[in-house]
Amino acid sequence: MTYIQRIGVMTSGGDSPGMNAAIRAVVRTAIFNGLEVFGIYRGYEGMIDDQIEEMFSHSVSNIIQRGGTILKTARSERFKEYEGRLKAYQNLRTHKIDALVAIGGNGTFTGASIFEKEFNFPIIGLPGTIDNDLYGTDSTIGYDTAINTVVEAADKIRDTATSHERLFFIEVMGRDAGFIALRSGIACGAEFILVPETTTYIDNLARLLRHDWRKNKTSGIVIVAEGDDMGGAIEVAKKMKERVPEIEARVTILGHVQRGGSPSAFDRVLASSLGYHAVKGLLEEQHGVMTGIINKEVVYTPFEKAIKHYKDINTDMLEMSRILAL
């Protein structure tokens, strides 16, 4: 028998499509198992400010299809300080909350890991970020939807690029990871994909583009992850203009459009199963871990490993994308 009777659930850090589906799964699985559930608003900020309210089955009706997060989200500076975390702990105890389900990414789990050890308070994580940069799951909640958003936009850009015979640099999110860039770039047939995980040789890129244009191309798309070592799309386009002025270029920064929208069916199913298994995991005394799915199997990975253990980008796919765009 587990001692957990009351759990808290929160979303934290950058939002991602599918977070609502995850909240729904957590709330309903918990209630089914006889637990009481409390929603914590605005992530760690709300935990510090006591923005905590009980949730019921009807609290999560009609949200599976909605982007964003009904619990709101925030990045908390105060939670990085011990005083902030102590306040948060006291609020949880006041509400008699015994355990927490945290839905978020790197920052969320860094905080969770410290808090759990400091106060011996059980926390289980769900990977909610469009970046897919967490070790211990094939896909994070929101990644699939974000890729589809990028592809939809890139297809539209391809139309105008073809008509005007231009080269487009499209910047996608990913400060430290190129997963969005790589997958969306392959899906939209990008000529080049620039990611933070590999070095971008700008003169080489200029040479290849010149060669492509001489051969047969009159238009093209370069997907640039915002964290690429050469800088974002504006910087890369500027450098290319200096080197290849004969190619007319434009820049599109997709920005936060990638974080919104109705979650794809894939993200809804992923979020539902992760939410369900997170609560089951807590009841089986799993904590200090992130719930993930690898090769269709549910796995629980310690927070430290999920955030620090590097998830490799598939460089073969980068090579493949170049060959297929020749």
Which residues are catalytically annotated?
131
Q: How far is CA 12 from CA 205, 250, 287, in A?
A: 38, 35, 18
Tell which one of 129, 137, 149, 184 touches ligand F6P (CB under 6 A).
129
Q: Does 178 bind ligand F6P (CB under 6 A)?
A: no
The site for ligand F6P, by CB under 6 A, has a size of 11
**Between 144 and 226, whose beta carbon lies closer to ligand F6P?**
226
Count CB-CB contacts under 10 A for residue 94: 10
Contact 271, 22 (CB under 8 A): yes
Looking at the chain, how many residues does it have? Answer: 326
Measure the CA–CA gap between 43 and 58, rounded to whole angstroms. 21
Q: How far is the CB of 104 from ligand F6P (least distance, A)?
A: 9
The DSSP string of 40-60 is: ETTHHHHHHTT-EEEE-GGGG
**Between 98 and 226, whose beta carbon lies closer to ligand F6P?**
226
Tell which one of 8, 9, 10, 14 touches ligand F6P (CB under 6 A).
14
- Region near ligand F6P per CB under 6 A, out of 36-44, 153-161, 172-180, 205-213: 172-180
Q: Does 130 bind ligand F6P (CB under 6 A)?
A: yes
Q: How far is the CB of 79 from ligand F6P (least distance, A)?
A: 15
By rule CB under 6 A, what string of x and - marks binding of each residue 212-251 to ligand F6P? Answer: --------------x-------------------------
| Beta-bridge partners for 55 | 37
**Where would I find the H helices in the chain?**
19-32, 43-48, 82-94, 106-119, 143-164, 179-187, 202-215, 233-243, 265-283, 303-308, 315-324
Q: How far is the CB of 75 from ligand F6P (least distance, A)?
A: 6
**Between 41 and 121, whose beta carbon lies closer to ligand F6P?**
41
- Region near ligand F6P per CB under 6 A, out of 56-64, 150-158, 173-181, 260-268: 173-181
Tell which one of 259, 268, 277, 287 touches ligand F6P (CB under 6 A).
259
Q: Does 142 bind ligand F6P (CB under 6 A)?
A: no
**Between 43 and 105, whose beta carbon lies closer to ligand F6P?**
105
Encoded tokens for 155: 């297809």
Q: Does 174 bind ligand F6P (CB under 6 A)?
A: yes
Distance, C-alpha 91 to centroid of its chain: 28
**Sequence-separated (6 or more) residues with CB below 8 Å from residue 45:** 51, 74, 76, 78, 79
Give the DSSP letter of residue 7: E
Q: Does 185 bind ligand F6P (CB under 6 A)?
A: no
Q: Does 131 bind ligand F6P (CB under 6 A)?
A: yes
- Region near ligand F6P per CB under 6 A, out of 88-96, 127-135, 277-285, 298-306: 127-135
**Between 131 and 228, whose beta carbon lies closer to ligand F6P?**
131
What b-and-e string marks burial along 172-195, b requiring 16 or more CB atoms within 10 Å of the CB? bbbeebbbbbbbbbbbbebbbbbb
| Amino acid identity, position 283 | L
**Between 131 and 197, whose beta carbon lies closer to ligand F6P?**
131
Q: Does 18 bind ligand F6P (CB under 6 A)?
A: no
The DSSP string of 142-184 is: THHHHHHHHHHHHHHHHHHHHHHT-EEEEEE--SS--HHHHHH
> Contact positions toward ligand F6P, by CB under 6 A?
14, 75, 105, 129-131, 173-175, 226, 259
